[in-house]
Amino acid sequence: MRSSLIGKIEKARRYAQEPGRVTLSSLAADFHGENAEHKVSYAEGKWSCTCSFFGQWQTCSHVMALQEMFRPALSKEALASFPEE
Ligand SMILES: [Zn+2]
């Protein structure tokens, strides 16, 4: 393997230990809920989810779960509706 590529792999491993370097600007996910499948996304500063709860509250357990899962890589705005914020 070329030495320059080995250097990149080592750097990538170091970066992977520093999640604060990455902020997700958008996100799209298929969420396997207890009763149904939902499409959850985050784009241009807004979350959305296809579940009926989200339509009324602009947040839901699916959004909250993703906020918790990806917390280190989400901006303050993306975490704004997180209950602990
Ligand atoms: Zn939902």
Q: Give domain limits for the chain.
A: 23-85
pLDDT, one tens digit for every residue, the chain (85 residues): 678 999 999 999 999 999 889 999 999 999 999 989 999 999 999 999 999 999 999 999 999 999 999 999 999 999 986 544 4
Ligand 1 center to residue 6 CA distance, Å? 42
Ligand 1 center to residue 21 CA distance, Å? 28
Would you state the torsion angle of the CA atoms of residues 15, 19, 22, 25, taken in this order, to the nearest 10 degrees? 150
Ligand 1 center to residue 83 CA distance, Å? 15
pLDDT at 3 (0 to 100)? 85
Ligand 1 center to residue 56 CA distance, Å? 10
Ligand 1 center to residue 81 CA distance, Å? 13
pLDDT at 1 (0 to 100)? 64
pTM of the predicted model as reported, rounded to 2 decimal places: 0.83
- Non-local (6+) Cβ contacts of 51 within 8 A are 33, 36, 38, 60, 62
Per-residue CA distances from 30 to 56, 61, 83 (Å) = 20, 14, 22
